[in-house]
Amino acid sequence: MKYPVLINASHVPELTDINFTEDGIKFGASVTLSKVEEVLEKTKEDLSEEKTRVFTAVIEMLKWFSSKQKRNTASIGGNIMTASPISDLNPIF
């Protein structure tokens, strides 16, 4: 099919936002997995262990997730969108 307009989701500001809230961190769907790892690692340094257990689980899973090159381009939304039963992050989310 030919589409008259294509949108690169990695250039939509609302999809690449990272917002810190009282309840946690909100990542836009186009935030790369490398950026997620970076933000969670940094945030872990500032919060107590009981508040960052999920962060630790995501970081650990990301260490085994494909290659660094793929994590630099792969996104949260793409990982969820595949709906794979063997997805790396969907069980944690």
DSSP 75: B
The mean per-residue pLDDT over the stretch 22-43 comes to: 94
Return phi, psi of residue 33, to 5°: -65, -30
User: Per-domain residue ranges for the chain?
Assistant: 9-81
The mean per-residue pLDDT over the stretch 8-34 comes to: 93
Instruction: For 34-49, write each residue's pLDDT tens digit.
Output: 999 999 999 999 999 9
User: pLDDT at residue 14 above 80?
Assistant: yes
**Closest Cα to residue 33, out of 18, 47, 46, 14?**
18
Residue 27: enclosing H or E segment and its boundaries? strand 25-27
* pLDDT mean across residues, the chain: 89
Q: What is the pLDDT of residue 67?
A: 84
User: pLDDT at residue 57 above 80?
Assistant: yes
| Cα distance between residue 59 and residue 3, in whole Å | 37
User: pLDDT at residue 88 above 80?
Assistant: no
Does the domain spanning 9-81 belong to CATH 3.30.465.10? yes
